Amino acid sequence: MRRTLPLLAAAALATTATLAPTLTATATGAADAEGTPGQPGEHNAITDVPGIQVGQIQADTAPFLTGTTVVYTPEMSVASVDQRGGAPATKETDLLSPLNSNPGVNAIQLGGSSMYGLSATNGIIRWLEDRGEGVPLGSAGVAPIVPAADIYDLNRGGDPKARTSPEWGYLAAEQAVDGPVRQGSVGGGTGARGGGLRSGLGTSSVYLGDGIWVGAIVIVNPAGSPVDPTDCSLHAVRYGLGEEFAGYQTPTEQECSSQASRNAQDGDEESLNTTIAVVATNAPLEKAAAQRMSGNAHDGMARAIYPIHTLADGDTVFAISTGEGEPLQINDPADSGQLNQIFNAGSVSLSRAIGKAVLSAESHDGRLSYCDTYPSACENMPQLAQWRSAGTAPDITHSEFTRATRALRQTPVPARPSKDSLSADTGQAVLPATGGDPGSGTSAGAGAGASWAPSGALGMSIAGLVLVGAVALARRRPTAAVAH
């Protein structure tokens, strides 16, 4: 069944506030998804899209400056991806090709810690497995599908090895909710930079009418800059909806010509890749249409950041469709107009989210934010405080990390060797014979099942010497008090 939907206000496409032509699509979630067509939703976040939840966790105390953001879909959703930067840190993106059979995703990670942070997906996968969510595997359980993209933020807290791990992903997934989303230097955007400025995470949404929503969430960490060098304004603010960027002003000439501004424009050698994002809709899309939506969303990046898609970036956009029913298809002419409007809404939503990420970011350890570099631009924007405090994004603690570690360890481990499998001479586990190469761990001359190890007499003498030495040392050492 096709129903007519009012389209975005033209402001959503950075034109005047007039309605564009109508859009038709199969709507889902109309009973509980209401708003003003062409305007942001209640939270102005990707979580306004029915079926999308977000969880975040981070650490910004030295030596850490990184975090993890999880976009969670309780019902496995159609998804695809478009990757255009020259240096991506991604995982499981091949599964999202329309040529492959994967039915959808359970979650997507947008994280810090570059290639090392991709391991955080193992914690998300375990959290999903514990809930029985994933592709059914019969007696083998489930296979949770969690693609990921990470930004480069290594060593920004002072230690290149202070990075995320499976525990971070597990804890971030636990935080997933469908309410407000905290923005700024949080979650996967904690260590983000852009154009030499402290950057972060932003999100936005728009209602298309008749229950159809489009939203975006982004971590802004480009090699390029979100700042227009001619007047130091943000490229993205011109795409705002309604009062979204109310109070924003172009920085003063004095601020724009200051040394801090020049430093921000110059950037630095550590301001490396990348900008990563998810766009989502509850309109039902086929997988190829989701891929097209992710590709169109890169236009939103290009509007808000310059230069974009460089060899130092790993710019990646995922697209999710949570809708049910007959999917819109890119090769059906009857669906073309509908799809174009959804795609364009996703692109503009991403531009807006980039602006919110940069404005919400806060200075840290000498790295200035946009609002501290150009205070006149932000001084009349009371909404910034709400963006920075909405929702939850807890700092990771030692106790929570330990709890997650215990949860992740609840899995079978290899059993200890039995007495029958140990060598009588050495006490070592017996390996099967594979030939006469000592490097293989076996000795052909000793016969099948013999391990490559010192001879029996030599092995016993070494063990005896070690035991005698330990006893002698114990007799000579004075007894020490033990603290309890």
pLDDT in tens, 335-359: 999 999 999 999 999 999 999 999 9
Radius of gyration of the chain (CA): 28
**369: part of which helix (H) or strand (E)?**
none
Banded model confidence at residue 273, pLDDT cuts 50, 70, 90: confident
Mean pLDDT value of segment 124-147: 97
Mean pLDDT value of segment 323-328: 96
Mean pLDDT value of segment 379-392: 97
| DSSP state for residue 65 in the 8-state scheme | -
Question: Do the Cβ atoms of 120 and 176 come closer than 8 Å?
Answer: no
The first and second tokens of residue 154, run together, are: 């290594």
Would the pLDDT of 200 be above 80? Answer: yes
Contact partners, residue 242, CB within 8 Å, separation at least 6: 11, 39, 40
The pLDDT, as a whole number, for residue 103 is 83
* Integer Cα distance of 146 and 164 in angstroms: 16
**307 compared with 273, residue with greater pLDDT:** 307
* Integer Cα distance of 144 and 150 in angstroms: 19
The pLDDT, as a whole number, for residue 34 is 75
* Integer Cα distance of 123 and 265 in angstroms: 38
With both helix axes pointing from N to C terminus, report the angle between 166-174 and 120-130 in degrees, rounded to the nearest 10.
Answer: 50
Mean pLDDT value of segment 468-481: 42
Contact partners, residue 12, CB within 8 Å, separation at least 6: 38, 206, 239, 241, 344, 345, 348
Q: Where in the sequence of the chain do the CATH 3.60.70.12 domains occur? A: 3-403
* Integer Cα distance of 477 and 479 in angstroms: 7
Closest by CA position to 282, among listed 25, 35, 9:
25
Domain 3-403 class, CATH top level: alpha beta
Q: What's the length of the chain?
A: 484
Would the pLDDT of 391 be above 50? Answer: yes
Question: Do the Cβ atoms of 352 and 244 come closer than 8 Å?
Answer: yes
- Angle at 262 (CA atoms; ends 221, 388), nearest 5 degrees: 45
**349: part of which helix (H) or strand (E)?**
helix 336-360
| DSSP state for residue 309 in the 8-state scheme | S
E strands within 112-240?
A: 135-136, 142-143, 148-150, 193-194, 197-198, 201-209, 212-219
The first and second tokens of residue 365, run together, are: 């350890």
Average pLDDT over the chain reads: 84
- Here the contacts of 364-368 (C-beta below 8 Å, separation 24 or greater) are 364/60, 364/65, 364/185, 364/198, 365/62, 365/65, 367/193, 367/197, 367/198, 368/197, 368/198, 368/260, 368/264
Phi, psi of 72 (to 5 degrees): -110, 135
Mean pLDDT value of segment 28-32: 40
Banded model confidence at residue 425, pLDDT cuts 50, 70, 90: low
Would the pLDDT of 245 be above 90? Answer: yes
pLDDT tens figures, 15-25? 323 323 333 33
Mean pLDDT value of segment 447-463: 37
Q: Give the CA distances from residue 391 to residues 58, 213, 387, in Å, rounded to whole numbers and listed in that order.
A: 14, 20, 9
* Integer Cα distance of 465 and 163 in angstroms: 44
The pLDDT, as a whole number, for residue 429 is 56
Tell me how crowded residue 286 is: count the other CB atoms within 10 A of its CB. 21
Banded model confidence at residue 195, pLDDT cuts 50, 70, 90: confident
* Integer Cα distance of 222 and 357 in angstroms: 12
For the ranges 236-250, 321-335, 428-442, 450-464, the lowest mean pLDDT is seen at 450-464
The pLDDT, as a whole number, for residue 445 is 38
